[in-house]
Structure 1
Amino acid sequence: MEKGVGEGHGGLNKYALGCSLVASMISIIFGYDTGVMSGAMIYVKDEFHIGNGKTEILAGILNLCALVGSLCAGRTSDAIGRRYTIVLAAVIFLLGSVLMGYGPNYGVLIAGRCTAGIGVGFALMIGPVYSAEVSSPSTRGFLTGLPELGISIGILLGYLSNFIFSGLPLKIGWRVMLGIPAIPSLFLAIGVLKMPESPRWLILQGRLGEATKIMYKVSNGAEEAEARLSDMKLIAGIDEKCKDDVVKIEKDSQGKGAWHELLIKPTPTVRWMLMAAVGIHFFEHATGIEAVILYSHKIVEGAGIEDKRKKILFTVGVGLTKFIFVVTATFLVDRVGRRKLLLTSVGGMVISLFGLGTFLTIVHQHPGERIIWALVLSIITTYAFVMSFNIGLGPITWVYSAEIFPMKLRAQGASIGVAVNRLMNATVSMTFLTISDTITIGGAFYMFAGISVIAWLFFFVFCPETKGKSLEEMEILFTPKSSSINKNNSK
């Protein structure tokens, strides 16, 4: 048999890496859209004279619309393929960016933000799923974590854009900030067409010949490629010895009826997978990261800093911290494991959130006084929270939820998780200012600290280690009788 492009002696497959990097570009654009709004909204408020209510809508509408996009993305990616779903996401981003960059009034700005949000829903679901499906078990955590790394890069670029363009005239600056993503969206939509399709999706379509060629490119040698193909054939109901280029696949194996299997009559194994995926997506945002990403300028304001440029500079620091620790987590996830990083991450979040709540409360209780030590500690604990989140919970959410579902349920199972993720993101971003006004900004972070304690307990009980397991082995891992967690709990 001829050597495939991806043949080697183990380690990271360069072809699979290239595919995952291109797929992750859509996440950079999404991250930029998220980060840039943190600074842009300061200037939007000045031009359109909007209050906290409309500001919260502007911040959160992207995620409400992303919920719709994510629910559509699972079915779309099963119907037209993973690759064309990425193209669709890029085109939707392009339209949204043009509308936001034009933005003659608040209504058009919201329409653009909502359009971009639909693209976000598609991007968040499809990037990790595609990366998971082209990667080997030994490097899946790294490759599936690249979309989260892309988000971090995008957020940092958004913050830098705020700082760079903040010196422009009011009516131009924020429009340039919000309109720039139209350019990379166009190039991405064209570039993605050169990527291969996911071999797992091709097998579900009965296109065995194409899937085999791609599998040899993304695997480290013929032995690994044949083993991965054998597992996928078994799941799809294809004879292991079949070498036909095209085979007929039962509709039930093509993702048809996935909603019924996931939500109406799930097996105990699928129910556990869905609970783990929904739980990890719920807690990713219920613990407050979006409050820091979008409203970091309000945190430093609460700590006593009023200068706009200094507020934006602080957000750049937040973005840089996020980027550094996501990179670190990306390299650790396949070595340390998902579960250890997750529990360590959330433990750090609990401590830093309690600290941040305490120091912001001290500042709040001394109005008119400049308590330097409390201000400095507020900034340090904010960065500590961002560090803790991004060393574990942030990137692992996307790795975990993209890898645990069976092949025919993966796209739509992941889309449910993303929908919950966007719902919680929208909830936090659209209520944080109101909650802060009601129970103080320090009280809001005490609330997030309490939720983080519950999150740690949930992950400890319901999230088994998936490091090194093939995608086809996940059903065994999540079967209650065979789970190590279940055995430990029964002792």
Structure 2
Amino acid sequence: MSSDPSLLSWNGIRLLLICSLLTAMTNFPSGFSHTSVNTAVHKLNEYLNNSFTERYRPLDHEEVSLLKSGINSAWYLFQVVGAMSSPFLCDNYGRKVAFALSIAFMTLAGAMQMLASFTPYSEVLIAGRLIAAVFSPLSDAALILYLQEISPSSLRGTMSSLYSTGYSTMCLLGMLLGHEGLLGHSLSVLLFVPVIPGILSTAFILWMPDTPKFLLLVKKDKVAALKSLRFFQGSLPDQTLLIDSMEHHHKEDANNNNNSEEKADSATSVMHILKKPHLRKAMMLSVSAAILTLPFYPILQNSTFFFTDMGVDMKTSQLASSFMMVVLTISSICSTLIIDKLPRRILLLTCGSCTVLFLTIFAVSEQMHQKSIAMGACFGFIMSYGIGVGPVIWSIPPELSPLADRSMMFCLVYSIHSCLVVVTNFATIPLFMSIGAFSFVLLFAIPSAFALVYLLVCLPETSGREIHVIINELKGIVEDKEPSRDVITSIA
């Protein structure tokens, strides 16, 4: 009998609800805060201007825009700091401790921003935002590791895709609540909204167990690992055998790698990843996949500006930008339903190719002054991104890495991605104003095309496969036969 719960069974639905709750807790502080404040942008501008007026002098429109741009860019830069420190907490103290700490500090940061909104000290608000930026990658890393390590291989793609679905849903919620008629009339209220859910989320994380793999393979606690497995997946046949098999595979891997050179390399995890050919290849594949996401951020943050610059009226531009978030959310939900029914590699390559095509159509249409086609291309990009790019790419780093390097691999790729986002975000607006939408071809379409070629040649299929089999393929070891589902490595 299989120990994998079916998605439509009670245990499968229970696991889906737990994973959905975890991704909502992770994405609410960042996704909601980003879009709610962006929707109520005049309230933030008013607060920043009043803060400087009361203590120094009024700011003109360009200075306010520059200050806001600096705050947004600093978010991604401080994420790099948080990302590189995340593996230490995740690997040494556990996914649960890292998760609880990150949500607690992001909640504290939210409270700081809310309290700052009652004072003229905008520096406190900015400091709170930067604290949230540092702990945001830690919560993302802990979430991805949870989604990967509590799910059977047959549902790993579905559960991992919830990371992207949760982000788009929280962004949509923030955009809706940020409107003037709801909560957008008060910056303080908007900043306070994530605080209470953050306190409840921290309490829930402290109550739930760590992942079965961490408890078994790092803490060496087989009883706690079995309890954790039953907490997340319910009581199923062969779960004791599953734990024994996971332990057996881990010991085999440890014996194969038990030499002084491996141990010396593992002391510095980044160098370990760079030195080992299969890990270096996994990192390059993960970064190549992450490159496909780069156009999403300027489109998400500046779509209204792009549309109005093309000559679309402000009301239509704002409506189109809002509807794009709805399309993104629906696309992400559709992805969750189909991701384990299709080969993950084909899904990523197909949708990634579509994003490049739509970016090219956007650029050509804008140059030809075809506003409707250009806007339609943006919607096509968002749909392709939501179905097969966003939900897939962050599952690639952990799926191509052994347990010991999993969190470091994710955080290293996350850091590189954050740096690329900063660079491309800074360059997008000036280039767009200079050469129009052709800037998207230079900055995004051409690099994405090269990344897709590399992924086509080198990326192994990960859907429904055991992690050790995927890693062996990266090493060049071809196994004659993959283990049966009943052979228990299903959450490896």
Shorter-chain TM-score tier: 0.7 to 0.9
Cα gap change, 1:10/1:124 in structure 2, threshold over 3 Å: closer, same or farther? closer
Q: What is the match of residue 279 of structure 2?
A: 270
State the Cα deviation string for residues 455-479 of structure 1 (Å, max 9, x = none): 2212212211111112232221222
- Taking the aligned partners of 1:293 and 1:443, their CA distance within structure 2 comes to 16
Q: CA deviation at 1:18?
A: 3.9
AA at the equivalent of 1:320: V
1:313 pairs with one of 319, 335, 345: 319
- Are 1:304 and 2:311 matched, yes or no? yes
How many residues matched?
Answer: 453
2:352 pairs with one of 338, 346, 353: 346
Q: CA deviation at 1:298?
A: 0.9
- Are 1:222 and 2:237 matched, yes or no? yes
Q: What is the match of residue 363 of structure 2?
A: 357
Q: What is the match of residue 76 of structure 2?
A: 63
- Taking the aligned partners of 2:326 and 2:462, their CA distance within structure 1 comes to 29
2:178, 2:184 within 8 Å by CA — same for their partners in 1? no
1:35, 1:293 within 8 Å by CA — same for their partners in 2? no
1:234 pairs with one of 249, 253, 257: 249
- Are 1:379 and 2:375 matched, yes or no? yes
1:34, 1:294 within 8 Å by CA — same for their partners in 2? no
Q: How does 1:21-40 map to 2 (within 5 A)?
A: 21-25=20-24, 26-40=26-40
Cα gap change, 1:429/1:109 in structure 2, threshold over 3 Å: closer, same or farther? farther
1:212 pairs with one of 220, 226, 230: 226
Q: Residue 325 of structure 1 aligns to a residue in which SS?
A: helix
Cα gap change, 1:208/1:62 in structure 2, threshold over 3 Å: closer, same or farther? same
Cα gap change, 1:261/1:340 in structure 2, threshold over 3 Å: closer, same or farther? same
2:428, 2:439 within 8 Å by CA — same for their partners in 1? no
Q: How does 1:387-402 map to 2 (within 5 A)?
A: 387-402=383-398
Cα gap change, 1:145/1:21 in structure 2, threshold over 3 Å: closer, same or farther? same
Q: What is the match of residue 44 of structure 1?
A: 44
Q: What is the match of residue 107 of structure 1?
A: 123
Q: What is the match of residue 259 of structure 1?
A: 269
Cα gap change, 1:161/1:206 in structure 2, threshold over 3 Å: closer, same or farther? same
Q: TM-score, normalised by structure 1?
A: 0.83
State the Cα deviation string for residues 158-213 of structure 1 (Å, max 9, x = none): 211232458855xx3x4433442222212211121222210111121112221122
- Taking the aligned partners of 2:254 and 2:111, their CA distance within structure 1 comes to 49
Residue range with higher mean Cα deviation, 94-103 or 109-118 = 94-103
2:32, 2:171 within 8 Å by CA — same for their partners in 1? yes
- Taking the aligned partners of 2:252 and 2:6, their CA distance within structure 1 comes to 30
- Taking the aligned partners of 2:122 and 2:6, their CA distance within structure 1 comes to 56
Q: CA deviation at 1:106?
A: 4.6
Percentage of matched positions with identical amino acids: 19
Q: Residue 196 of structure 1 aligns to a residue in which SS?
A: coil
State the Cα deviation string for residues 94-149 of structure 1 (Å, max 9, x = none): 12222333343553333222112112211221111111001001000001111211
AA at the equivalent of 2:241: E
- Taking the aligned partners of 2:389 and 2:360, their CA distance within structure 1 comes to 18
1:66, 1:118 within 8 Å by CA — same for their partners in 2? yes
CA RMSD across the alignment: 3.1
Cα gap change, 1:210/1:31 in structure 2, threshold over 3 Å: closer, same or farther? same
Cα gap change, 1:404/1:428 in structure 2, threshold over 3 Å: closer, same or farther? same
1:433 pairs with one of 429, 433, 440: 429
Mark the runs of 5 or more structure 2 residues left unpaired by the alignment. Answer: 50-60, 481-492
Q: CA deviation at 1:273?
A: 1.5
- Taking the aligned partners of 1:18 and 1:473, their CA distance within structure 2 comes to 29
AA at the equivalent of 2:92: A
- Are 1:283 and 2:292 matched, yes or no? yes
Cα gap change, 1:378/1:119 in structure 2, threshold over 3 Å: closer, same or farther? same
AA at the equivalent of 2:104: V
Q: Residue 465 of structure 1 aligns to a residue in which SS?
A: coil
Q: TM-score, normalised by structure 2?
A: 0.83
2:176 pairs with one of 160, 176, 179: 160
Q: What is the match of residue 482 of structure 1?
A: 478
Q: What is the match of residue 165 of structure 2?
A: 149
- Taking the aligned partners of 1:443 and 1:239, their CA distance within structure 2 comes to 49
2:183, 2:190 within 8 Å by CA — same for their partners in 1? no
Q: What is the match of residue 422 of structure 1?
A: 418
Q: What is the match of residue 244 of structure 1?
A: none
